[in-house]
Chain A
Amino acid sequence: MGESIAAVIQRKRKNKNRLAQQSMGWLTLAAVMLVPTIIAALFVRAWPILCSKPLGELLFSTTWHPMKNSFGFYAFIMGTLWVTGLAMIISVPPSVLTAIYLAEYSSTRTRSLVKTFIDILAGIPSVIFGVWGVLTIVPFIRNYFAPAVDRWLGGIPLFQNNNPTGYGLLAGGFVLAVMVFPIIISLAEEVISAVPQGLRDASLTLGATRWQTIRRVVMRRAWLGVIASIMLGFSRAFGETMAIMMVAGNVPQIPYSIFDPVYPLTALIANNYGEMMSIPLYDSALLTGALILLIIILVFNLLSRLAIVRLVQRD
């Protein structure tokens, strides 16, 4: 009698375990399949336009007239690339320097305090960055920065101020750069701190200064991880919607000056979502934009993953 009850309990335990394992396994598989599913879904909805227009025209034409059935994404792709590129140029040096400072020079207390603030910065929603951009950065560019740069460097097309509104490539790039700071800083700091102290000691005991040690030894060991953190920041900036939409100017043209307005892909999709269904092929076009966006980001993410794997293998 006692034995059969025990056997029942054992069977129930085993079944629960098996059931749990199977259901969790399937759920995990479903989650992994989410990426291909998203790509497939976008592809299916983008299909009408992908089969009616040559890929070259979609990617490289600058004509964007939905009502006249013209869908050239080039200006938007360029806009995204320019603004993201500018954001990286602005954010990478200070971010890496800050990460090195936190990892190598700051005291433990300072480090945890600053990292707390960096985490807060990371948690601020993008619309708030947009509001800040509109309230602070755009007026600053409009009223002080653009006129000044135009006066001193206006001979160079890159710095000409043909757009007096302040909304444009520079505003977008700067706001994006600020959003990207915490991403680069926290990962780069982690990677640099992970370099073993014995390696630093090896350099210091030969009479190297701290900075020489950082430059020649620590960074040599950590540089792939720092690159990975930069690529992570890049993909975040590339996919950013709200903040960039509020300060970029949203004029579909290729920028020639940092003050020119740009129209990144994400802003295009978000701004025109309302009219998507009213113009033929418009929804397919916008979802094609989303597909292009996703594919570029995926490629970048995979590259940065490979970098990390290579770094781990070296150790």
Chain B
Amino acid sequence: MNKITPKIEEVIYKVLMLASTAVVLSILFLILATVIWRGLPALNLAMLTQTPKGGYYLGQEGGILNAIVGSLYLAGGATMLAIVLSLPIALYLQVYIPHTRQAEWVRLAMDVLWGVPSIVYGAFGFIILIWLGMRASLLGGIIALAFLELPIMVRGMDEAIAMVPPALKETSYALGANKYETALKVILRQTAPGLLTAVLLAFGRGIGDAASVLFTAGYTDRLPNSLFRPAASLPLAVFFQLNTPYPAVQERAYASALILTFIILVLSLITRQLTTRLTTHIIR
């Protein structure tokens, strides 16, 4: 009779666990379904190919090409800048100072940076812009986003490089290569898919963030044509359109949200495919 209770306990918890998992998954599907259901009707070619014309925010013609291109430039520029900064840091951690106290401190700093809210990065970027005498601009947004992406990328690259079997590094050193050469010729090649995944992950974060570009990139209805002029971004486009009192514009906000979600989903898919495809060629 004492055996019944553990069994019943197990069944109860199993039900709770399955229910929790089901709830989490169904919320995901609910979110996607809501965005598609409300966004699809308002989606048309004009949304994707035109910039807002006069009166757009009052319900008239145009599209959000400014925001789509703006986001791509912002996230693209930020990601490139972040790569230039992150790759050396990750390589330094794994090749020059592996297993040292310093490396642990650096990783701690990266983890702390990872936790900094994006609005703080926006505020910081804003302070820098003022200090440099610049206004809200594409460049400002790129800088703020790069700071946001940096810890994500460094962590991802760090983990990717950590997966290289130490024997591979030792072989390189045994052949007389120094650390710089080993890093460049052996490690980069071996970890390329992992590094790419880290880049794509950071890019996805950059394209979806609003709080950091709010202060620093500003907003504009024009396509981005200069680093020193403001640039639009998709998340802000969604937000601003949603806040107008015109239902037609709000509908367009949902369509913009759908476009953003679509881009993110495609990005996730590509990342997954790349990881599985390229890992088949890796030495284990």
Contacts and interface: CB of A to CB of B under 8 A. Distances in A.
A27 B112 contact: no
A297 interface: yes
A45 to B, nearest CB: 6
B159 to A, nearest CB: 12
Interface of A: 13-14, 16-17, 20-21, 23-25, 27-28, 31-32, 34-35, 38, 41-42, 44-45, 93-95, 97-98, 100-102, 105, 114, 116-121, 123-132, 134-136, 178, 181, 185, 208-212, 232, 235-236, 238-242, 246, 266, 269-270, 273, 286-287, 290, 293-294, 297-298, 300-302, 305
Nearest to B208: A125
Nearest to B39: A131
Contacts of A131: 34-35, 238, 242, 253-254, 257
A287 B116 contact: no
A148 B183 CA distance: 63
Contacts of B21: 97-98, 101-102, 114
A294 B9 CA distance: 43
B112 A211 contact: no
B1 interface: no
Contacts of A210: 10
Contacts of A212: 6, 9-10
Contact of B119 (A97, A98, A211, A290): A290
Contacts of B208: 123-128
A114 B25 contact: yes
A293 B89 contact: no
Q: Which interface class (under 10, 10 to 19, 20 to 34, 35 or more) fits B?
A: 35 or more
Interface stretch (B54-62, B166-174, B186-194, B260-268): B260-268
Interface of B: 6-7, 9-10, 13-14, 16-18, 20-21, 23-25, 27-28, 30-31, 34-35, 38, 85, 88-89, 91-93, 96, 105-106, 108-113, 115-121, 123-124, 127-128, 147, 150, 154, 178-181, 183, 201, 204-205, 207-211, 214-215, 235, 238-239, 242, 253-254, 257, 260-261, 264-265, 267-268, 272
Give the interface SS of chain B, mostly helix, strand, loop or mixed. helix
Contacts of B17: 97-98, 100-101, 105
B92 A121 contact: no
A24 B91 contact: yes
B119 A269 contact: yes
A42 B106 contact: no
